[in-house]
Chains A and B, each alone.
Chain A
Amino acid sequence: MLMVALTNVFALVNPWILKQAIDMLSRRFDHGTLLRYALLIVGMSLVEGIFRFAMRRILIGVSRDVEYDLRNDLFAHLLLLPPSFYKRNATGDIMSRATNDLSAVRMVLGPGIMYSINTLTISVMATALLFKISVSLSLLAFLPLALVSFTVKKFGAVVHSKFEKIQEQLSTISTHVHESLTGIRVVRAYHREQAFIEQFERSNNEYFNRNLSLIRISGFFHPLNGFLLGISSVMLLWYGGRQVILGQITLGEFVAFMAYLSMLIWPTIALGWVVNIVQRGAASMGRINALLDAEPEVRDVNAMPVEIGGRIEFRNLNFSYNGAAVLRDISFEVPACSRVAIVGRTGSGKSTLVQLLGRLYPVPDGSIFIDGHDINRIALGNLRRAIGFVPQDAFLFSDTIQENIAFGGIGDPARAREAASVAGLDQDIEGFPHQYETIVGERGITLSGGQKQRATIARALFTNPRILVLDDSLSSVDTYTEERILHRLADAARGCTTLIVSHRISTVQDADQILVLDEGRIVQRGTHSQLLDQSGLYADLYEKQLLKEELDVES
């Protein structure tokens, strides 16, 4: 603040020196003083420059620091938010808050503050100096300036409404283009290209006309401002000139007056701009706060670290999401080191059931237990580290395959090879251009669906979990490979409890216990052979699968 004021003090000194110099020139001449004045002008602007340099660096620099902190806070908060939040909010929307909104807020903190302080101090000081030179001249010169503010306001409203009409038409055009491109097959099938082109042409012409109508008005705005400011100088020339002739002000004061007046032009215009920035920034801050206020649904309450063995129990679990019951009255036990499979149609609640085990959603108290502890009382990090989770969508980071497998972080990096071999991925990796150092994803090689799934299995195995959860993680792998992986998994995961979700019978038939889910309830349970003996969903699924396999073999 002080810095800005000082900067402007020095900025205002120069016209004053100029005034002294010219006054001297119009009276008597002195080489020495002249040189002194000249050096003074350079000196003053050097000092001003140093202050201005510091002002910019500090004010704008601080705004970048705040932006940095705010962005870090945002991401730290995002790390706490549950999957339900990411389902409700589009990625694009969250990103736009972390970038566009953040930069709008920064604009207020940086340039916004800088220019408003600047405008304020310079106009107060320059006005004071102008009045000091001549009150009547100042009043006369200010009259057009006041008109400028008035026209800015007046025109603003008209321009705004015209602008909205343009935006409206633009959205009409966009909709038309979007529709006619997504519906391109219909347009082509009925050979209506020409009709759509004509329609587009009409919208396009209307857009042109609306733009022109804005230009007709807004084109007035700039020249008019220039004109009013010009009037101000003419007033000065005419009335100020008279005052010089009458000896009321000196010629130097006359020239200094001109300089000060021109210094006021920019602040007058900047004012509207700053108001705009502040308005946008306030709206953006609101959107950022809305994000920061989103509550992490899952957090540790009275949780304690626990050594996890692997015995799981679901006890009368009821779970609703967004008011709809997803799971009803789920009870089952999984002894440590045994293998349980969950089958059912799409939407039967299989995935939700295993996700609850990792507390990706808030779990009702007293419904899920591990080794007899309510999982809500087990520290979240502790719980999740004990579970090797293979989610449904095989998501990999765009990083090396090594980093992706060793994502869990704990343990010897060399174990990644072991994990890859169990997951049946080792031979694929040997074929990659840089083996384990090959980057996957957008910037690297594209893996097939099956390779991705196997990589996520390796990732889960790497952490040596007590509990392994496979959420439909073999769907993109052919039945032969699947069989091999399951076989090796049975060896490697001998020490851990395994939960397998699948819609494929072949995946689950060797499980110690199979649960059949339908509309959120367990409708059947037992081993493969027990379930086949009952007529029901499981037997149906099995029969269909056999048929499908037959069809696949046919060629």
Chain B
Amino acid sequence: MSPHEEEILGKAYDSRLARRLLIYLKPYRGIAAVSVLLTLAISAVQLAGPYLTKLAIDRYILRKDFSGLNFIAGLCLLVLLAQFALSYVQNYTMNWIGQRIMSDMRLQIYKHLQQLEVAFFDRNPVGRLMTRITSDVDVLNDLFTSGVITIFGDVFTLAGIVIVIFIMNARLALVTFSVIPVLFIATLIFKVRVRASYRRVRTAIARINAFLQENITGMAVTQLFVQEKRKFAQFDERNEEHRAANHQSIFYYSVFYPLSELIGATAIALIVWYGGNEILSGALTLGSLVAFIQYSERFYKPISDLGEKFNILQGAMASSERIFKLLDTRPQVFDPEQPEQSPAIRGEIEFRNVSFHYNRGEPVLRNVSFTVSAGEKIAIVGATGAGKSTIINLLNRFYDVSEGSVMIDGVDVRRLPLGRLRRSIGIVLQDVFLFSGTVEENISLHDPEISRERIEHASRIVNADRVVQKLPNRYLHRLNERGSTLSAGERQLLAFARCLAYDPAILVLDEATSNIDTETELLIRDGLEKLMRGRTAIIIAHRLSTIQNCDRILVLHKGELKEAGSHQELLAHRGIYYKLYQLQYKEQLAPTGTL
């Protein structure tokens, strides 16, 4: 999903979302309260500055009092120190809270993802899920660090200034405030306009991006049909719109900034003029006049910051909406409420009238029934799309059946505890997935119960040990992402070791189709034979040698179980298997036959 699609210009405040966000603040409410108090204290200290200036001018400078001046300078220094210390602690606590909440949220999302069924990950690209856990959470950090808490400070500062200057001189205060409505209205109009033109800019840039994306992909078509000129004109039109939108937005900014300065200057002019008259009548001191000017300057920042806070709030709402939507997705495959407490799994499998579809009306499996007795080895063959891998997915509940039932030792898999079911089935997938980490970690998958001895033992049995011994640090060798330094065959052997270390009652293997060199091929064949020993095995077979090693062959065709029997029986039957054999397996006979 491209960034512009993610951008939802929703409403800035949604009480439902806000309440839910506040829950995350709850564990840290003590610290949050401290942080708010500190923010208030800082505002108070900041208010002291201009007032101290007033005192300095009125009491000491105009009265030529040197020691008083020293005193007030000392006092200013103290105020500064206090402000420094308070700001530091406040900043630290606020960021601590923000980081803590982000950390909590990421963990929550990650845990949730680990509960969602495999099908969910087929529907949602990994990139999008990553965005939830990274950028969306980051946006919320802004909300907690610069949004919620500082808003208290801003409001308090504004209120403080109002109170102080009213006490100093109520009439002058009123005169000064006469410009506030103008400033407020100007800001309001500006924010509305800027938001509209911001949208226009975003839309324009989104159109440019979409156009570029499409036309880079289809560049050859444009060139082959000699349509470069037309495409350029179309691009220019979008580019021009983007420029126009920006010029509009520049105009607003160019008007607003000088305007707000003009309003500020007007306030100062009013203070000088009216305040000067007040001084004449003795109602105001010169120091107060200076303090008034300084206070009026401090009034503007919080007001114009409000727009900024608004944007943060809006972004946070959009992000939290996406995060909560993810968190509200309920897992479709979950542990049974009252799981069957059966003894150890022996490995008898039954598919009884199983049908399955990902999308309604497009059945992948149709009324498939078969049984595999404990310790039996079954090969499943069929053309691409016949539904072979679906059998695996249903057996260990990556998906649940649409109709019928899958049973292990006579118990429906949906009634077995998920963990126990999956640990009793060892899976080796076609494309072996290795994590970045040591070989040891890749075999044990961080299970502390699987000792180093067991790992090495398992590796020796399935011939993975030979691969490991070639690596610089043996079992402690760090594999990079997806184990890309190893060949497909070597990865397969490591997956065998992983499977054997877990010692499952049932083995499920989706044989790799990729070409593997003869030496590794032999190691794999030997390893597989040992791995299958004493286990029920279901193998999606691509190699003739594997098929011939199995007790029985099931032939799937277009989602239906069409034929079953031994290699010789099926060949004699001259049905689908016979044709598949001609098409896919016969050629393997020549090279492998000589081995």
Contacts and interface: CB of A to CB of B under 8 A. Distances in A.
Interface of A: 14, 18, 21-22, 25-26, 29, 31, 34-35, 37-39, 41-42, 44-46, 48-50, 52-54, 56-57, 60-61, 64-65, 67-68, 71-72, 75-76, 78-83, 86, 91, 94-95, 98-99, 170, 173-175, 177-193, 195-201, 204-205, 207-208, 211-212, 215-216, 219-220, 222-224, 226-227, 230-231, 233-234, 237-238, 241-242, 244-245, 251, 254-255, 258, 262, 358, 360, 380-381, 384-385, 387, 389, 391, 395-398, 407-409, 441-442, 459, 463, 544, 547-548, 550-551, 554-555
Contacts of A237: 52-53, 56, 69, 72-73, 76
A188 B508 CA distance: 14
Interface string B177-218: 000000000000000000000000000010011101111111
A189 B427 contact: yes
B289 interface: yes
Q: Is the interface of B mostly helix, strand, loop or mixed?
A: helix
A95 B209 contact: yes
B21 to A, nearest CB: 19
Contacts of B216: 78, 86, 91, 94-95
B425 A189 contact: yes
B422 A52 contact: no
B545 interface: no
Contacts of B270: 38
A300 to B, nearest CB: 12
Contacts of B215: 78, 397
A238 B70 CA distance: 7
B368 interface: no
A554 B576 contact: yes
B311 interface: no
A175 B436 contact: yes
Interface in B80-105: 80-81, 83-85, 87-88, 91-92, 95-96, 99-100, 102-103
13 contacts: A45-B264, A75-B212, A94-B216, A177-B129, A181-B121, A189-B422, A216-B92, A241-B56, A360-B224, A385-B226, A398-B214, A409-B230, A442-B210
B446 A192 contact: yes
A68 B99 contact: no
A200 B110 contact: yes
B61 A181 contact: no
Interface of B: 49, 52-53, 56-57, 60-62, 64-66, 69-70, 72-73, 76-77, 80-81, 83-85, 87-88, 91-92, 95-96, 99-100, 102-103, 106-107, 110-111, 113-115, 118, 121, 126, 129-130, 133-134, 205, 208-210, 212-228, 230-232, 235-236, 239-240, 242-243, 246-247, 250-251, 253-255, 257-259, 261-262, 264-266, 268-270, 272-273, 276-277, 279-280, 286, 289-290, 293-294, 297, 383, 396, 398, 418-419, 422-423, 425-427, 429, 433, 435-436, 445-447, 481-482, 498, 502, 557-558, 576, 579-580, 582-583
A37 B498 CA distance: 87
B87 A255 contact: no
Nearest to A548: B583
Contacts of B208: 71, 98-99
Contact of A75 (B66, B209, B235, B445): B235
Contacts of B236: 72
Q: Which of A38, A44, A80, A98 has the most CB of B within 10 A?
A: A38
A245 B422 contact: no
Contact of A79 (B223, B273, B426): B223
A234 B103 contact: no
B250 A60 contact: yes
Contacts of A459: 225
Of the listed residues B118, B224, B429, the one surrounded by the most CB atoms of chain A closer than 10 A to its CB is B224
Nearest to A551: B579
Given A38-B272, A219-B91, A241-B56, 20 more contacts: A31-B280, A52-B257, A72-B236, A179-B436, A179-B481, A182-B126, A182-B433, A189-B427, A195-B447, A196-B114, A208-B100, A219-B88, A223-B85, A230-B83, A238-B69, A245-B61, A245-B65, A245-B69, A360-B224, A391-B224
